Amino acid sequence: MKKLILLFLLIPLVSLGQNEDVKKNEKETDLSLNGVVITGLKQKIKKNKRKKTNDINLSKNELQEPYNPFLDCDINDSSCFQNLVNQHILNNFHYPQLANYFDIQAMVNVSYTIDKNGVVKNVSSNAALIGVAFEDVDSKKIISDAFEKAANSIIESLPKTNPSIVGGIVVDKKFRTPILYRLSDIEKGSMISININKIDNGLDFLSKLNKDNSMILSLVPVFPGCEKLSEIKKRECFQDKMNRHIAQNFRYPEIAQKKGIQGRVIIQFVVGKDGNVSGIKTRGPDPILEKEAVRIISLLPKIKPGEMEGRKVRVPFSTAITFKLQ
C-alpha cells in the first residue's frame, strides 16, 4: 500500500528584529500542519481503495542528507564537479541584505583550491558590481565586502571531495567559480548612485547591520488575512498560511507516482517590494517534482512587503517540499 507524505519547511532568510532568543528560533523554523487534505489525490486514492494519510515530520535528522555526492565524482571531470558545485550554490545561496536594500547586483568570481585531502582552502573572491555608481569609496567597499563574504561562505561550505590525481600523484587543484547575484525586478542597463553616508542617519544605519552585513527588518512580510495581528503573531500566521497554501494546492504528479519518483525539492523565492513572488529557483531529484513545486509557489497571493527603516525591501525565503511514496 502506498502512502503519500508531504513534508515542508519554510525559512525566512533575514533577521527579524527581535530579541536573541526569538532570532535563534527563527533561523530555522519547523512548521507542522496535521490533517492536510490533498485534493488532487483524493479521487485516485478512493478509486484504488487506498488509505490516504499525511505525515509531517520536520526533525533536523530527517532534513539532513548524510550522503555526499562529491565523493562519487572525479574532480577532474569538469562536468560532474561543476554540476555538483552549481547545486551546492543554489542550495546555500543567499542575497546580501545590504545589497538587496540598495538594489545592487554583482558578479562575484570566487577562487579556491581543493587540496590533497579533498578539502577547500585559500578561498578568495572579487565582486564586480553591476549598474551602480558610488559617490564615495567607503560605500563601494562595504557593498563589495558584503557580496564577497556571501560568496566565500558558499564555497567554504563545500563538502569534502575526491582530490585531483595527475599521473598517479595526488595534487592540489585550483578552481574559479562565478556566482551571479541578480535581482529579477531590476531592468537591465539601469544605473543608480549611492552614498551610504548621505542617508539621513548613515552611521546609525551601518550600526544596525549584523556582523555578516545582513539587516534587521523592522516590519516582516504579511500574508493576506494576518494584517491585524501583532508582529510576532504575524510571523506565526505567515507560516500557518504558507503551510495551508502548500497543502491545499499540492498535487503529486501522476507520472512521478507511476515512475516511483520521490524526494525533497528545495525552493527559493523572493517577496518583492510590490508584494509579488518572484525569482523562484528549485533543486530537486527530478524536473517533474521541481515543476510542481514551482507551480505551488507561483500561486501564492500578493503579500504585504517587508520594510527596513521605513523603506519596502525584498525578502528572500527558502522552503522545502518532500514528495514521498511508501
Query: What is residue 309's predicted lDDT score, i.e. its pLDDT?
Result: 67
CA neighbor of 6 nearest in space, from 26, 28, 34, 44: 34
152 residue type, one letter: N
Query: What is residue 40's predicted lDDT score, i.e. its pLDDT?
Result: 32
* Residue 301: CA count within 13 A, CB half-sphere: 12
CA 217 to chain centre: 17
**What is the three-class DSSP state of 39?**
helix
Query: What is residue 160's predicted lDDT score, i.e. its pLDDT?
Result: 92
**CATH 3.30.2420.10 domain extents, the chain:** 1-67+215-326
Kind and range of the H or E element at 255?
helix 254-259
The CB density around residue 265, as the number of other CB atoms within 10 Å, is 22
CATH of domain 1-67+215-326: 3.30.2420.10
**What is the three-class DSSP state of 292?**
helix
Per-residue pLDDT of the chain (326 residues; tens, 9 = 90+): 444 445 544 545 543 343 333 333 333 222 222 222 233 333 333 333 343 334 444 444 444 556 888 888 898 888 899 989 988 998 888 888 778 777 888 999 999 999 999 999 999 999 999 888 777 777 788 889 989 999 999 999 999 999 999 989 999 999 999 999 888 766 666 666 666 655 544 445 555 555 555 555 667 789 999 988 887 788 889 888 888 898 899 899 999 999 999 888 888 888 888 899 988 888 888 999 999 999 999 999 999 988 876 778 888 787 888 888 87
Task: Extract the C-alpha cell encoding 324.
Answer: 514521498
Query: What is residue 44's predicted lDDT score, i.e. its pLDDT?
Result: 38
Task: Extract the C-alpha cell encoding 306.
Answer: 517587508
Task: Extract the C-alpha cell encoding 111.
Answer: 577562487
Helix pair 231-249, 287-298: axis angle to 10 deg:
130
Query: What is residue 61's predicted lDDT score, i.e. its pLDDT?
Result: 46
Query: What is residue 103's predicted lDDT score, i.e. its pLDDT?
Result: 80
Question: CA-to-CA distance for 61 and 127, rounded, in angstroms?
Answer: 36
